[in-house]
Every structure is written in structure tokens, then in C-alpha cells.
Amino acid sequence: MTSASLPLGHRRVLADLVPGALVRDAALVVAVAAVTALAAQVRIPIEPLSPVPITGSTFAVLLGAAALGPLRGSLAQALYVAVGVAGLPVFTGGASGWAYFTGATAGYLVGFVVASAVVGTLARRGLDRRVPGAAVAFAVGSVVIYLFGVPWLMHVTGMPLREALVAGAGVFVVGDLIKAAAAGALLPAAWRVARHDG
């Protein structure tokens, strides 16, 4: 894919620099799904503050989305969720299956797919090229994940809104700000290494 073939206002993402089109895209989607599965095993329980643990998965999700763009990033997370529901132990703590998917974290898993589309779109607009833009893209992605995670947490646990906002978003804000700052450093650095600003 060349810069000239992209819609007006769209730029290439890091994945576009890898040659091979279809085979490349499939390999990158599988790779980001696998990295998300590995990152999900980095788990810090925070009960009784929240039934949802702190994991490394959101960082992998959002970084993968910025690198792959909206379609490939979303496909990677859809693949991650699908193989987990099918029984592969890819969810946090090696969990899998439909019962886990419909538990307290289900909204976050759906949010991964949607946030990937949003962050990937922001990357296509060039927000991943500079430190402030990359940090903003990650922060927006985190908010999108909360928008899916918190309502589902309320549904599953019966928590009132205020309690669910604290347990489903508030306890993660500091960590997500750190992840956004890390992304703000990593993505522009990756572009500098690639020597591409197209």
C-alpha cells in the first residue's frame, strides 16, 4: 500500500512498512493477538477494589492498534476474543470459554475491538508520530474501553453507577496514564527508527 493509494487525510501506519500485503496482514493480526494473550497473563489482582484485575493487555491492544491501523487492529482483537471463547487459555490467568467471556471482564474484551478501531483511525490520521498525539490516542482508547467495560460490570455485579465507575475505571486511571505516556514515547521512537513520516 502506498501513500498515494490511501484515502485523503490518511497516513500509513507502522505495519504498512512491512512488505507482503495479504500474508503480511494475516501474520501481523495473529502476532498482535498472540502478544495480547501474553500480555493478559501479566495480572495484578486488586480485589476488593475491583473484580477486574490490572493486566498488560490494554497496553498490547492499544499499541497493536496504533501499529496495525483500524481494520487489522480490530481483527487482531476479534481473533484474540474468538480463540479465547473457543477454549484456548488466552484470557487473564489462562482462562477461556464462554463463561469467562460473559463474566465481569466481557465489556472490556468487546471494548478492545472497538478501541482498536478508534486508536487505529487516530494513527492513520498521524497522531502516533509525535509524543503528545500518541499519548492522546492511547488515552482516548482507554476511555473507549471503559465505555464498554463499566456498563457491563454494572450489569454483571449489580453495582450502582458511582461504584462501578470507581471499580471499573477509577482504579485503572493512573496505570492507563502511565501506559499512555509510554506509548507517547514508544510510537514516535518506532517511527524514527523506521525513518518514515509519510
- Which CATH number fits the domain that encloses residue 69? 1.10.1760.20
Is residue 191 in a domain? no
C-alpha cell at 117: 478501531
Is residue 175 in a domain? yes
Number of domains in the chain: 1
C-alpha cell at 195: 525513518
Q: CA Rg, the chain, in Å?
A: 17
pLDDT tier, 14 (very low <50, low <70, confident <90, very high otherwise): confident
Mean pLDDT of the 149-172 span: 94
Residue 108 has pLDDT above 50, yes or no: yes
Q: What is the DSSP letter of 6?
A: S
pLDDT, residue 60, reads 93
pLDDT, residue 3, reads 46
**Residue whose C-alpha cell reads 476479534 in the numeric block:** 78
Q: Nearest-5° angle of CA 102, CA 106, CA 111? A: 150
Q: Which residue has the higher pLDDT, 165 or 130?
A: 165
| Domain of residue 135, residue span | 9-186
Is residue 125 in a domain? yes
Is residue 1 in a domain? no
Which residues are CB-neighbours of 137 under 8 A, at least 6 positions away?
62, 66, 119, 122, 123, 127, 128, 183
Is residue 41 in a domain? yes
Is residue 106 in a domain? yes
pLDDT, residue 195, reads 63
pLDDT, residue 4, reads 46
Residue 43's H or E segment, with its range, is strand 43-44
Is residue 197 in a domain? no
Q: What is the DSSP letter of 54?
A: E
Is residue 196 in a domain? no
Is the distance from CB of 176 to CB of 135 less than 8 angstroms? no
pLDDT, residue 19, reads 67
The chain-wide mean pLDDT, for the chain, equals 87
The H-assigned helical ranges of the chain are 21-40, 57-68, 70-86, 98-101, 106-124, 131-157, 161-168, 173-194
Buried b / exposed e along 37-69 (16+ C-beta atoms within 10 A): bebbeeeeeeeeebbbbbbbbbbbbbbbbbbbb
Residue 131 has pLDDT above 70, yes or no: yes
